[in-house]
Amino acid sequence: MPILVDSNVILDVVGGDSPWKKWSSLALEQNADQDLLVNAMIYAELCGNAKSVDEVDGLLMRLNLLLSEIPRAALFLVSKVHLAYRRRGGTRSTGLPDFFIGAHAQALGIPILTRDKARYQTYFPDVSLICP
């Protein structure tokens, strides 16, 4: 079964001094027999520290990560869960990436490999999480 890999796990692995580096590296290694996916939001988050698209594409290749398109059903779900978030008092300063990631995983019926489980559990309770 494919697994959607959150940017925090990837950044742990490539970052120099993350306290989560060991856990994240091991989690990727233990799930290497699955298709490990990223989507456009995760890709964009990885670009923040990169010098070029080639660098990010090289990182994906090195870690055996595949870029997966976000299905329209997931995009529709993003609008609904983000509206629920806002109605519960969520601020506009919080970006949408976690909502896109959670909706993508839910639409495909696949788990997310992440260290950030709180929002996913709240807004996507049917999504399985692989986390510490």
Predicted local distance difference test score (pLDDT) of residue 17? 86
Q: Does domain 3-130 have CATH number 3.40.50.1010?
A: yes
For residue 125, pLDDT beyond 80: yes
Q: What is the mean pLDDT of residues 14-38?
A: 95
Locate the domains of the chain by residue range.
Answer: 3-130
Structural tokens at position 13: 């692995």
pLDDT digits (tens, 9 = 90+) for 87-116: 888 776 556 789 899 999 999 999 999 998
Query: What contacts 21, CB < 8 A, 6 or more positions away?
Result: 12, 13, 15
Element (H, E) at 5: strand 3-5
Predicted local distance difference test score (pLDDT) of residue 45? 93
Measured from the Cβ of residue 24, the count of other Cβ atoms closer than 10 Å reads 24
pTM: 0.90
